[in-house]
Every structure is written in C-alpha cells, then in structure tokens.
Amino acid sequence: MSSSFLPATTESIALALEAKDSLESISILYCILESPSSSPEALRVKEQAITHLSDFLRKENRAEDLRSLLTQLRSFFNLIPKAKTAKIVRGIIDAVAKIPGTSDLQITLCKEMVQWTHAEKRTFLRQRVEARLAALLMENKEYSDALALVTSLVKEVRRLDDKLLLVDIDLLESKLHFSLRNLPKAKAALTAARTAANAIYVPPAQQGTIDLQSGILHAEEKDYKTAYSYFFEAFESFNALEDPRAVFSLKYMLLCKIMVSQADDVAGIISSKAGLQYVGPDLDAMKAVADAHSKRSLKAFETALRDYKGQLEEDPIVHRHLSSLYDTLLEQNLCRLIEPFSRVEIAHVAELIELPADHVEKKLSQMILDKKFAGTLDQGAGCLIIFDDPKTDAIYPATLETIENMGKVVDSLFVRSAKIMV
C-alpha cells in the first residue's frame, strides 16, 4: 500500500473508477483511505472507497488483501457509527465468501473479528459475526464446534429479544441437528424459528429458507406431499428473487413426485414456464431418475446415478432418498422375477436383473430376514429355494374369538350373581 494519499473527495473516487485497469483503481482507492481528513464528507467518501475497493479485490480474487483491509480499517471504525461499521465488516466478509476456495480463510477472518468485537464491546456486530462463523463451521463439517457456538448464541440473543437474528440462529441450529441426524431437535429448532418469524416481518429470502428446511424435514419423515408444498413455497420465493437456490427447491419438488410414484408429473413440471428457466444438469438428473422409475428399470436407474453423480450422489438430501428408492425398486424387481419359481439359481436371477450375483445374493438374504418372502438360500448349490406362503388356519382366530366372548359372558354373570347375593 502506498504511503502517499489522495484527498477523500468524489473526484478521487471518479479517478479510481476511470482508471485503465483494476490494479491502478485499487492503488488509487488505497491512497484515498490514507487521507488524514475525518470530516463528515471525507468519511462518507471513504465508505464509498471501501465498497469499491472490496469489489475490485474480489474480482481479482485477492482474499488475503481483503483480510488485511479489514484489519487496517479498525482505526477508521472508531470514527463512524457502529451500524455503518457492521455493514462494512459484513460486506467485506461477503466479498471474501464470493472468492472460491476461501472457507478456511473466512473462518480465520470471522474468529479475528469476534476477538476484536469482544475487545471493543460491539455486541450487535459480534453476534452476527458469530452466527456467520457457526454457518461456516457447519459447511466445514465441524459440527460440534458450530453447535457449541450456536447454543451459547441462542441464549444470549433470546435475552436481547433480537427476533431477526434469532430466526437466523434457530434455522442454523435446525440445519446442524439435521446434519447430526437428530431429527426431533431439528424440528424443535425449526418451530422456534417459525415462532420468532411470525412476530416480525421476514424478508422473502429468509422465508424461502425456512420453507426449504421445513420441506427437507418433512421429506425425512417420508411425508412427501407436505414436503412438496413447502418446496413449492420455497421455489416461488427464490424464483421471484432470482436466487440460485430456486433450482434446488425445484429439484427437491421433483424428488417428492418421484418418491410418491408420480414420476409421470416430472416432465410436465420441467416443461412448465417456471421450470424451463432452470433447465440444466440438475433437472436432467431428476428426469433420468423419473424415467427409470416409470420403467421400473434398475439398469436405467444405475445409469442415471453414474451419469449424474454430482447432481444425485453428491447432494446428501437427494442421495439419501434415492438410496431408499433404489432399495424399494430392487425388492419389487426381485419379487417379480422369483415369483414363478420354487427353486432358482442365484446366477440366473442376477442375469435376469442385470446385477452382480454377490449383490443379488446379499439383497435376497436381507429380504428373507425382513420376511419379504418365505425362502432360504442354499449357498452350496448357489440356489434360492422359495416356500409357498403358509396358509393360516381360520379355526384358530375363530376359537380365540369364541373364548373371548365366553369370558365376557362369565364376567357378566359373575357381576349379576354378586348383586343378587347382596
């Protein structure tokens, strides 16, 4: 950074924006920040310079320079209102977040800012930076650290009754518990977020996030119809804002349709006016899965999983439900194939279903244990022996019913005789 300075005026800002390249613009903006003037006009110009400088450094992917800028501005923050300080700090952290591969740097930056806000007693800003830090730790899969931070933060924010921040933190807590597979606590945290949200005006993006999380939790409970309605609400919110999360909401809507065996509706949703805006690999992946489900073809299903690995297997929510769907589809296909046989070679079943023999054998043994059909595996001969379903004799239930009725009659007679004796 240059030791010379330029006056903090709108002309200096214009000079920086009209520079021939980004490096020159960055140099001029740094010189404006070096200006010793602290008049109201100069402070306003410096705020503009910081905003432009953050944008230029972000475009140049200079994350470390953004970090050092935040440290350098600490003396400047003492001259401006705390609300403006909070806006600038969050703006610079957001700029770093837009640079790919900076998650570790963002965590370090947030931790540094938390220490500074503690020292400066800036509670409002510290709480927001801590919430951001918890979200980053969750993305980094450091769940225990994130949960400890969120738990202490929730108690503090509840005392201050900051509803908007409380919605953010409760929502984050719900996501954390869901990631840790603690569904009851995830639902409780989401209910708390909804309760706080009902008391205030919630921005559409935040409401969309709440609906998206609600849909995810309902889908986890296999309530796909309710989940679909929440995903639809989230999609409408994100679509109106042109938020990139709209495509995920639409993807999960299609997933719900597939899971309730309405795969034929998928093509219609994709070809609708709203769906056509988001045509791409994510929707193509769901269409391939829907086609495989309609045809009940395991081979097509596996092809879709292989061709769209990034969109299906690397999305934990989709992957979890598709694993369940694959198991159901495999069981249905196996039951259909073995139905005509009383004894059949496992290799023949594997050939018919076009899957490895060891995979088929493992699934058949699991189905026998789960009582999906009556049979046994003869591993020596490599055969599956299917038993006829044992027919229940109707006389036993009828006998039990007769004895039960006789018991009622005897009890009734005993009560009457007791009355007569009295």
Could you read off the pLDDT of 340-373 as tens digits, one per residue?
888 888 888 888 887 788 888 888 888 888 888 8
Cβ(269)–Cβ(257) below 8 Å:
yes
**Res 217 pLDDT > 90:** yes
The pLDDT value recorded for residue 391 is: 67
In the chain, % of residues over pLDDT 90: 36
263: phi then psi, degrees, rounded to nearest 5: -60, -25
**What is the arithmetic mean of pLDDT over 374-395?**
78
The answer to whether the pTM exceeds 0.75 is yes
Closest CA to 71 of 36, 98, 111, 99: 111
Distance CA 249, CA 385 (A): 46
In the predicted model, what is the mean pLDDT of the chain? 88
Picking from 176, 185, 153, 179, the residue whose alpha carbon sits closest to that of residue 166 is 153
- Three-state SS string across the chain, please? CCCCCCCCCHHHHHHHHCCCCHHHHHHHHHHHHCCCCCCHHHHHHHHHHHHHHHHHHHHCCCHHHHHHHHHHCHHHHCCCCHHHHHHHHHHHHHHHHCCCCCHHHHHHHHHHHHHHHHHHCCHHHHHHHHHHHHHHHHHCCCHHHHHHHHHHHHHHHHHHCCHHHHHHHHHHHHHHHHHCCCHHHHHHHHHHHHHHHHCCCCCHHHHHHHHHHHHHHHHHCCCHHHHHHHHHHHHHHHHHHCCCCHHHHHHHHHHHHHHCCCCHHHHHHHCCHHHHCCCCHHHHHHHHHHHHHHHCCHHHHHHHHHHCHHHHCCCHHHHHHHHHHHHHHHHHHHHHHHCCCCEEEHHHHHHHHCCCHHHHHHHHHHHHHCCCCCEEEECCCCEEEECCCCCCCCHHHHHHHHHHHHHHHHHHHHHHHHHHHC
In this predicted model, what pLDDT tens digit does every residue of 305-349 receive, in sequence order? Answer: 888 888 888 888 888 888 888 888 888 888 888 888 888 888 888
> Which pLDDT does position 2 carry in this prediction?
41
The pLDDT assigned to 365 comes to 86
216 has a pLDDT exceeding 90: yes
pLDDT reported for residue 392: 65
**In this predicted structure, what is the pLDDT of residue 176?**
94
List, for residues 60-106, the tens digit of each pLDDT value.
999 999 999 998 998 899 889 988 999 999 999 999 999 988 889 99
Averaged pLDDT for residues 385-394: 73
Query: Which is nearest to 228 in space by CA: 240, 203, 243, 211?
Result: 211
Local confidence band at 234 (pLDDT 50, 70, 90 cut-offs)? very high
Gap between the terminal Cα atoms of the chain: 108
Q: Identify the weakest region by mean pLDDT among 44-48, 159-163, 214-218.
A: 159-163
Q: Which two tokens stand for residue 332?
A: 């249905």
The span from the CA of 272 to the CA of 327, in Å, is 31
β-strand partners of 225:
none
pLDDT of residue 273: 85
- The encoded tokens of residue 304 equal 């879709």
Sign of CA dihedral 94, 99, 102, 105: negative
CA dist., res. 294 & res. 163, Å (int): 46
Q: What confidence tens digit (pLDDT) does each residue in 164-185 have?
A: 899 999 999 999 999 998 999 9
